[in-house]
Amino acid sequence: VLRSNPFGAVNVPLQQLLADRFGVPAIVDHDACFGAGAEAADGAAADVTHFIYFSVNTTTHADDHNALAAYGSALFLQGRIYRGAFYGAGELSAPLEPAPMDLTDAHLAALTDADGAMPAPLIELAERIGRAVAPMINLVDVQMVVLAGTVQIVNRRFIAAVQAAVTERLVAIPGRAVRVVRSAWEPEAPARGAAIGVFDHLIAEGQLFDDRPAAAPRLTSTDSALLA
């Protein structure tokens, strides 16, 4: 962990601490990177090599009103997660983040309904996301944007509004068509991506099918069937 503001932690070898504590291989990554890995493996982005995973996360305040707590993103470029020279790729600073706004329970419910309404706050939210994502697309030139987060965004009109806000801001490049789509796995995408990452790590280290003493447990027939 390079830095964690909530825990006041800097340069903590969390991966090694977890592996030592539990006696199993461990991986540590940004939740958006895990989510992007799940979408790339067998989710919404399985058919593309370049995409942005854009996460919209909410929180509930003490007075029970909902607010957009944070935005996050991960870059998947040339068939793999791109983390950058200092592992900061995808981190959104204030100038890039959509402006914060409050949402009611009805607004959140509309986002999770494929045929949900589009009240004014959701129209504004779609516009804000489009304004934030379009410059990222222009910079790294991706094929797709996957909308994800703690709220499952399936509202077709909302997704179409984000698509329109993005498209009108893209640099005109002949033949380019960037799709804005819903996540296939949210809100479980980060957990699913973490599981995929662990298997990838074990395979890369040659531990998954290693039958030497103290090696990682061998797969059962059920596990093998699931992997197949």
User: What is the structure's pLDDT at 134?
Assistant: 96
Q: What percentage of the chain exceeds 70 in pLDDT?
A: 81
Query: What predicted TM-score, i.e. pTM, was given to this entire model?
Result: 0.83
User: What is the structure's pLDDT at 67?
Assistant: 67
Bond into 187 cis (ω within 30): yes
Residues ≥6 apart with Cβ < 8 Å to 55:
31, 32, 35, 71, 72, 73, 74, 148, 149
Cα separation of 75 and 52, whole Å?
A: 5
What is the number of residues in the chain?
228
Residue 54 pLDDT greater than 80, yes or no = yes
**pLDDT, tens digit, for every residue of 170-204?**
999 999 999 999 999 988 999 999 999 988 878 87
Would you call 78 helix, strand, or coil by DSSP? Answer: coil
Q: Could you tell me the two tokens for 73?
A: 């993103």
Cα separation of 23 and 21, whole Å?
A: 6
> Phi/psi of residue 101, each to 5°?
-160, 155
- DSSP at 52: E
Q: What's the fold here for domain 30-207+216-227?
A: Nucleotidyltransferase; domain 5 (3.30.420)
**pLDDT, tens digit, for every residue of 62-116?**
666 666 667 889 999 999 999 999 888 988 765 566 666 778 888 989 999 999 9
